Amino acid sequence: MRNVLAEETGNETMRNISAAVQEGAAAFLNREYTFLTGFVIIVALVITIFLDWQTAVAFIAGALASGAAGYLGMMVAVRANVRTAAAAQRSLNDGLRVAFRSGSIMGMAVVSFSILGLTILYLAFDGNIAYITGFGFGASSIALFARVGGGIYTKAADVGADLVGKVEQGIPEDDPRNPAVIADNVGDNVGDVAGMGADLFESYSGSIVAAATLGAVLSAGGQSPLAFIGLPFLVAAVGIVSALVGTFMVKTEENATQEDLLNTLRRAVYTASGLVLVLSAIMVPLAGLDFRFWVIILVGLIAGNGIAYFTEYYTSYSEKPTQSIARTAETGSATLIIQGLAVGMLSTVAPVLIVAFAILLSFWLGAAATEGNLTGGLYAVALAGVGMLSTLGVTLATDAYGPVADNAGGIAEMADLPDYVRERTDALDSLGNTTAATGKGFAIGSAVLTALALMAAYTEAARVNNPEFSLNLLDPVMLPGILIGAVLPYLFAALTMTAVGKAAYEIVLEVRRQFREIPGLMEGTGRPDYRTCVGISTQSALREMILPGAMAVIAPLLVGFILGAEALAGMLVGATVSGFLLAVMMANAGGAWDNAKKWIETGQMGGKGSDAHKAAVVGDTVGDPFKDTSGPSLNILIKLMSIVSLVFASAFGSGLL
């Protein structure tokens, strides 16, 4: 952080633009966190009344740690954007170095705050894992609101700026004449940095909590539960060290292609993954556990990198799927949207097969290592999720640097820097779109493993508190529970997409009004009113995030109390399956649409300003809420519902019906 903030900040115009983005981002987060403070206090009181004060304390700690990680990452990102633009004036490598270091701060803050918080609570509560589930609940709650609120903000501003600026007025992206351009740059930070950081904080914490919770009930082969509880903490610890080493592997040459830049970031992730395997090979025997648990960690890492590879394949503009979307732009936006949806749907196949294989293999290895113990198999699935996320410190850095590069490009455009600066920042931004999709793939894949482990922990807790609890597909409440769970991700996606549409509508009307009413705005002599667009995005995001966020907490409680613990188990199964597929489809389709537009902007098919480019811009605006609001929020939804069910498992009976 000290190194990043010591970088040059460019000329006065660049500093003024950056200051406006900083001001808007801080204003939004302060108002969002004020709202969330009230939510946290109310939920903590409910937990204290219905459960115990220890879980409530853990809940508050999880919420605070998640918010702190997101806030720190964003505060650095909004200061790194102008420094990245200044560095890109010197060379492509300097621009990459500054942007990536700022992303590394986000990555290391997330993993450090998480493992520190969990460890302190574990020691403070004398190793009682039941209380620590509250930490995951707190992290999930903040993550959902941060992801949804930030996603609505960023995409409303982005869609409004693109539709009026690029399509209607024919001016470049990030043109200073566009009244929504500052709101768009603010949105990149509150949605793609703070929101994403809270999202992956929750994924990381949830995977450790799930594994430790199952480990607490597991005793096999003469081993005490302490060994099984400790292993996910050890894997996370060596992952932090490995990720730190990986961050130093990022450097590139001046004339690097997109493939060269992608390989640079892959090298960092693969280096960290290799180090995790080496160090874990020491930690597993040190914990006194069967060596097959090291193979399970390997399975998780391979699965995570496999999902990342296929995500890159379907979203990078150097690959055929995204290029196929761009080519359909010749016949208009309709065919481009059809092809994008098809690519998004096709992209679900590989992640599903990878996760299914990882579940089967890790379950079999875990059961074999614990003498056929069913809980041992489920514990292994959770451990594979920890392994998948063990290198999060560097994988999140490859994701979080993208919005910084995007903002740097905006500053270069608005400050009228030489064309070569924008070319360098555009290369980094395009890479960021691919790595952002990769980060979402990691989060979604790990969400399924974590949600399955949390479901297993929930069934264990429900069975202890309710001796009549059973899982039977022929049970009259099980199938309705599955169907209710399957529809919830679609309802959630509809609410968040509608929210973006409403907010974007307001932005579009405001931008049109300013172009119509402010004298000389198009000629560059009039001054746009940036603050009004920032205010509209802020108000809309805070207003529209409440319903989908509350739904995730209320739905499992209603099903659990009304239909009973068995129906709730079915609901979690249905939500996990449909949420996984919908999240992958939306995230990858959105990323592919965005990069199809960027491929055309490199000069393909007529380049910027052509009819194909205008069609691609429309596809990109459809994809914006897909990839940055609804899609990535779904993985939080399925885990939040699972952890709410686990926390309140002791309160559910056989239902009222």
Residue 250 falls within a domain, yes or no? yes
Q: Name residue, tokens 């004060």.
A: 53
Residue 469 falls within a domain, yes or no? no
Query: Contact at 8 Å (CB) between 178 and 57?
Result: no
Distance CA 179, CA 174 (A): 10
Distance CA 28, CA 517 (A): 27
For the purposes of burial, counting CB atoms within 10 Å of the CB of 650, is it exposed (0-12), middle (13-18) or buried (19 or more)?
A: middle
- pLDDT higher than 80, residue 538: yes
Residue with the bigger pLDDT between 258 and 71: it is 71
Query: Contact at 8 Å (CB) between 4 and 98?
Result: yes
- The pLDDT, as a whole number, for residue 224 is 80
- The pLDDT, as a whole number, for residue 123 is 93
DSSP letter for each residue of 318-330: TSHHHHHHHHGGG
How many domains are there within the chain? 1
Residue 472 falls within a domain, yes or no? no
pLDDT tens-digit map of 345-373:
999 999 999 999 999 999 999 999 888 88
- Sorting pLDDT into bands at 50, 70 and 90, what band is 119? very high
- Sorting pLDDT into bands at 50, 70 and 90, what band is 235? very high
- The pLDDT, as a whole number, for residue 520 is 83
Residue 578 falls within a domain, yes or no? yes
| pLDDT, mean of residues 366-382 | 88
| pLDDT, mean of residues 550-569 | 88
Residue 260 falls within a domain, yes or no? yes
Q: Name residue, tokens 């509880």.
A: 229
- The pLDDT, as a whole number, for residue 603 is 86
Residue 613 falls within a domain, yes or no? yes
pLDDT tens-digit map of 616-629:
988 988 888 888 88
| pLDDT, mean of residues 641-657 | 76
Distance CA 628, CA 428 (A): 18
- Sorting pLDDT into bands at 50, 70 and 90, what band is 469? low
- The pLDDT, as a whole number, for residue 464 is 57
Output the six-digit token pair for 84. Answer: 């990245």
Residue with the bigger pLDDT between 447 and 47: it is 47
Output the six-digit token pair for 566. Answer: 């068995």
Length of the chain: 657
Residue 489 falls within a domain, yes or no? yes
Distance CA 616, CA 336 (A): 7
- The pLDDT, as a whole number, for residue 656 is 60
- Interacting residues of 358 by C-beta distance below 8 A, sequence separation 6+: 299, 300, 302, 303, 381, 384, 388, 449
| pLDDT, mean of residues 472-476 | 77
- pLDDT higher than 90, residue 122: yes
Residue type at position 645: S
Residue 325 falls within a domain, yes or no? yes
Q: Residue 344 belongs to what domain range? A: 2-462+478-651
- The pLDDT, as a whole number, for residue 585 is 94
Q: Which of 157, 212, 224 is nearest to 403 (CA)?
A: 157
Rama region for 605: left / alpha / beta (φ>0; ψ in -120 to 50; rest): left
| pLDDT, mean of residues 424-442 | 75
- The pLDDT, as a whole number, for residue 237 is 94
| pLDDT, mean of residues 616-644 | 86
